[in-house]
Amino acid sequence: MASLSESCRTASTMFSFTGQTKRCSWILCLFVLMCLTSVQVAAKPDSLTDVTDGNWEQILTGEWMIEFYAPWCPACQQLQPVWKEFADWGEDMGINIAKVDVTEQPGLSGRFIITSLPTIYHCKDGVFRKYQGARTKEDFLSFVDEQKWKAVEPVSSWFGPSSILMNSMSALFKLSMFIRRCHNYMTEQLGIPVWGSYVIFGLVTLFSGLALGLLLVFIADFVFPSRRFSSPDYYQKKQTMEQARLMKQQDDAHEADGEEDDDEEDEEEDGDQDEVWRRRRGSPEGRPEPKGQGFPDEALRKRVVCSREEEEDT
């Protein structure tokens, strides 16, 4: 009986140990499963890349699908779940899936000329094509897997995001966003009225333009000096021309004085002739006629001229 009881105790001990082992194994399996699930959940957000002004150049290498969206856009809000599901397939298909918030990245909005939301671009080794198909996960997968993007005309190099023109557009969009933030700060934080903010921006624009224009003039004169002023004979030629101009003025003044002298001589001759005519005009006895009884001077002059012409004809 004693041996039987001992064997029963041993068997019960073994069964209890086995149950504890099974229980521990179940707990261990559950723990491992939870760890794997948490790792997968944590890895999903990494499959969707956030592109910013600081890292946008990474999309120039490899194959990418980029979505431009805004949080306030209803169509963008509807597309977000589909875009996240599509991003989960990116690693299997060897493609990078990215998104750009245009409200936070105005420079990229100008660089890609985003005029409607959402806008989707496909990029393959720096060549961009605009996606125009349906916005479902299956359509996105077929567009990449079947290489339907080859049938889409690529964006011209003039309007590519890395071109000089698009760099200028990006800077312009950044400047506009900076001005908007300054306006909001002055009107909301400092309490400046809206018209006061506009006056401040107008004055800043005016003085900035004047300063920039003056700087450009100085740079142009320094880099491209005038050949006329840089010539060693310039001042000598200028002095010679000035002397010639003064001499010409003196000659003109002498000619004018000579013409005035001629006019005065003519007037003196006319005065002498008038005096002769006055002497000839008188009574038959040789006495001058009283005032008011003779012919006018002009009539007498005509008579004398006519008499001279008759004498010449005879």
Confidence at residue 93, expressed as pLDDT on a 0 to 100 scale? 87
3-state secondary structure of 53: coil
Cβ partners under 8 Å of residue 51, min gap 6 = 58, 59, 66, 98, 99, 100, 105, 108
Nearest alpha-carbon partner for 161 in 49, 53, 50, 48? 53
Q: Which residue has the higher pLDDT, 265 or 116?
A: 116
> Average pLDDT, whole number, for the chain?
76
Taking the C-alpha atoms of residue 114 and residue 69, their distance in angstroms, rounded to an integer, is 10
pLDDT at 290: 47
| pLDDT > 50? residue 268 | yes
Name the nearest CA neighbour of 198 among 213, 175, 177, 182. 182
The residue-averaged pLDDT of 236-260 equals 77
Q: Which residues are catalytic?
A: 73, 76
- Which residue in the block uniquely carries the two structure tokens 């957000």? 45
Q: What is the 3-state secondary structure (H, E, C) of 81-147?
A: HHHHHHHHCHHHHCCEEEEEECCCCHHHHHHCCCCCCCEEEEEECCEEEECCCCCCHHHHHHHHHCC
Averaged pLDDT, 146-172? 87
Answer with the residue of higher pLDDT: 96 or 13. Answer: 96
Task: Please tell me the distance from the alpha carbon of residue 131 to that of residue 144, in angstroms, as a whole number.
Answer: 11
Burial annotation 86-108 (CB, 10 A radius, 16+ → b, else e): bbebbeeeebbbbbbbbeebbbb
Over residues 241-269, the mean pLDDT reads: 73
pLDDT above 80 (res 200): yes
Band of residue 40 on the pLDDT scale cut at 50, 70, 90: very low
> Within a 13 Å sphere around the CA of 130, how many CA atoms are in the beta-carbon half?
15
Please tell me the pTM assigned to this model.
0.52
Stretch 168-174: mean pLDDT, rounded?
A: 83
Residue 77 CB contacts under 8 Å (≥ 6 apart), including other chains: 71
- Do residues 92 and 122 make contact, with C-beta atoms less than 8 angstroms apart? no
Answer with the residue of higher pLDDT: 298 or 219. 219
Q: How many CB atoms lie within 10 A of CB 195?
A: 8
Q: Is the pLDDT of residue 177 over 60?
A: yes
55-99 pLDDT, tens per residue? 999 999 999 999 999 999 999 999 999 999 999 998 888 899 999
User: Is residue 69 helix, strand or coil?
Assistant: strand
Over residues 137-143, mean pLDDT: 93
Confidence band of 303 (pLDDT split at 50, 70, 90)? low
pLDDT of residue 217: 87
Looking at per-residue pLDDT, the higher value among 82 and 197 belongs to 82
Q: Which DSSP category does 293 fall into?
A: T
Contact 76, 117 (CB under 8 A): yes
- With bands split at pLDDT 50, 70 and 90, how would you rate the model's confidence at 278? low
The mean per-residue pLDDT over the stretch 244-264 comes to: 74
Q: Retrieve residue 144's tokens.
A: 């990449």
Higher pLDDT, 302 or 276: 302
Helix (H) or strand (E) holding 67: strand 63-69
* Separation of alpha carbons 208 and 191, rounded Å: 25
CB 101 within 8 A of CB 70: yes
